[in-house]
Chains A and B, each alone.
Chain A
Amino acid sequence: MIIKVAWRNIWRNKRRTLITAASVFFAVFFGLIMRSIQIGTFGNITDNLVSSYSGHLQIHKKGYSDEKILNNSFNSDKSLINKLKTLKHVKYVVPRLESFALASSGEQTKGCFVTGISPDEENSMTKLSEKLTSGKYLLKNDKGALIGDKLASFLKIGINDTIVLIGQGYHSVSAAGKYPVRGILHFPSPKLNSSLAYISLKEARKLYSAENKLTGIAVLLDSDKNTSSIKAEIKNIINLNEYEVRDWGEIMPELKELIQSKSVSSYVMLGLLYMIVGFGMLGTIIMMIAERKKEFGLLVSVGMKKTKLALTVFTETVFLGFTGLLAGFIVSLPIILYYSVHPIYLGGKIAEMYEKNGFEPVILFSSDTGYIIAQFIIVFIILIVASVYPVIKILNLNPVKAVRD
């Protein structure tokens, strides 16, 4: 009977009920879609950059981050690498020897970033071989090179042509080497396309006279969630007087900043949406209480306990908001799930803009349960808080006054 009263009261003012539920619905819907795109797209950008190059964490000789020179390299330490490999959440540990060089094909010369890699280990983490548009991937101790497609076209060279790398080696020894191009790579980021060259670790050490040296060890984790905890763990196992550990945010501060500024603006938007939910509910509830004050007074007068009445009205308002909340989830979740498996590839001008900034021109929806549950809980709490208002009003109700006013 009480449920009957609650149910009929919900439909007493159909338009108001619908508007209220709809405002909750739209806020939930837009909130979810917006966060999904934001987390998905930036997560994708981060994952792309992290897994295709930096890794979540990098270990260097102390001081390398201030001065990225070969003199800040360190002796390869098998036991350190093995220790890293046994850490939880660590997927790949990839040693590298990196430095700058001038790349020349005879006619053209361009500065480039040379990475000496252990081909198999590198490939397991960065899937570098999948970025080949032509040619073959490096074999272990290969004497050839892989270069970005933009760099190749600038130098006007192709597969089997020779690239000459000239630079400065360890302790400022001059460095020069000739390498047949084994493959051409394409990266989503144009910046990488025009500046990357890969040779085997062995050749790089030869080129730079850096016997047994590494400039860094990249560590890829199973998820970015674990970056900070594993960073702390690594700090515990290495000698901090000798080594330093940086996470991808420190390695790519511009990316980190961009993501943070986008997060802030999306939190502001979410805040506004939540305010719509909160005030929309509260407005409806205040109107409803004003309308039904006499009814409440009557019910308490004839013998309905205030707690019972309050519970009835609480159920009504929670139900009202919950309908909107649920509808919002029911409509947005399939959209999010669909697009999380079918990313939207951008074309035209927008795509160019993305690429110029080094991002893959794709809109990805995240179906990460974290933010979905968080939003559900937040909106639910807002609904509960708004619904507490009539409860307080009813518990303090003076039935005589309520009927007379």
Chain B
Amino acid sequence: MNIIETKNLHKTYKESEIEVHAVRGVDLSFEQGEFTAIVGPSGSGKTTLLNMIGGLDKPTEGEIIIDGINISTLKGSKLIDFRLRKIGFVFQAYNLIPVLTAKENVEFIMNLQKRPKKERIKRAEDLLKAVGLGDRMNARPSKLSGGQQQRVAVARALASKPMFILADEPTANLDSESTRNLLEIMETLNKEENITFIFSTHDTRVVNKARRIITIDDGKVLSDEKK
């Protein structure tokens, strides 16, 4: 069963006179447990597509159906709440609240979900251990390396028990060591916990790990291969 479906998705940005067709007619579907990379040159529309799937940006045309719900029918705080319950986000940079420690950052999202304190603490600790940060739980983001920060972000994204995780170029700012490390963690989570990951990237090393590779260019899907 598909957890995400996009139907004839279009996005046109209008900045003064110039119209930019960032996404033009994308029909995709994603299943539970996928480990999918979206690749394409800079400006091809990867971020725009992921933002629309994540309910952060609205399509100009077309539909996005997540868990059977057309998300364009969700407005304002309903949509925000939907994101909180269904989607985990890992951004390229600026993923964490600076004044909170790694553990508190992971806890925070569960706090938004009004989960009991005991459960929050236990889950935050477990997840941080799972991403290899058992010994850095009480460090603030500024005291963590870029790779460590991204791992906290993955733990945070997982904490809310989402249906899937969207990661827009999660390794773009990382060195190759950290990149490999992060990818391994994501892969393990995918294989062992059946967590769905959809991530965009430029990086061929990252692409090679994916089990499905969607190539887009100029806002259109060029190819969609499963390994």
Contact = CB atoms under 8 A, between A and B. Distances in A.
Interface string A9-22: 10010000000000
Nearest to A7: B99
Contact of A302 (B89, B98, B104): B89
Contact of A12 (B84, B94, B99, B108): B99
Contact of A295 (B97, B104, B109): B97
A221 interface: no
Interface in B135-156: 156
Of all A-B residue pairs in the complex, the 9 with the closest CB atoms, nearest first, are A303-B84, A8-B99, A1-B111, A303-B83, A294-B94, A305-B77, A400-B56, A400-B57, A302-B89
Interface of A: 1-2, 4-5, 8-9, 12, 294-295, 298-308, 399-400, 403
19 contacts: A1-B104, A1-B111, A4-B104, A8-B100, A298-B91, A298-B94, A298-B95, A299-B97, A300-B80, A302-B84, A302-B160, A303-B87, A303-B113, A305-B80, A307-B77, A400-B51, A400-B57, A403-B91, A403-B94
B57 A9 contact: no
A176 B76 CA distance: 94
B90 to A, nearest CB: 10
A400 B76 CA distance: 14
B107 interface: yes
Contacts of A2: 111
Contacts of A1: 104, 107-108, 111
B80 A304 contact: yes
Nearest to B120: A1
Contacts of B212: none
B223 to A, nearest CB: 27
B202 interface: no
Nearest to A302: B89
A301 B83 contact: yes
B222 interface: no
Contacts of A300: 80
B150 to A, nearest CB: 14
Nearest to A404: B47
Given A2-B111, A400-B51, 9 more contacts: A1-B107, A1-B108, A1-B111, A298-B96, A300-B80, A302-B83, A302-B109, A303-B83, A400-B56
B21 interface: no
Contacts of B98: 12, 295
A303 B76 CA distance: 11
B81 A303 contact: yes
B80 A306 contact: yes
A25 to B, nearest CB: 25
A19 B111 CA distance: 33
Interface string B12-25: 00000000000000
B69 interface: no
B112 interface: yes
Nearest to A300: B80
A20 to B, nearest CB: 18
Contacts of A4: 100, 104
Interface centre among A8, A303, A306, A308 (most CB of B within 10 A): A303
A60 B156 CA distance: 85
Nearest to B82: A303
Nearest to A307: B77
Contacts of A303: 80-81, 83-85, 87, 109, 112-113, 160
Contacts of A12: 98-99
Interface centre among B84, B91, B96 (most CB of A within 10 A): B91
Contacts of A299: 97
Interface centre among A9, A306, A400 (most CB of B within 10 A): A400
Contacts of B85: 303
Contacts of B96: 298
Contacts of A306: 76-77, 80
A299 B160 CA distance: 14
Contact of B56 (A5, A9, A295, A301): A301
Interface string B188-213: 00000000000000000000000000
Nearest to A299: B97
Interface in B89-131: 89, 91, 94-100, 104, 107-109, 111-113
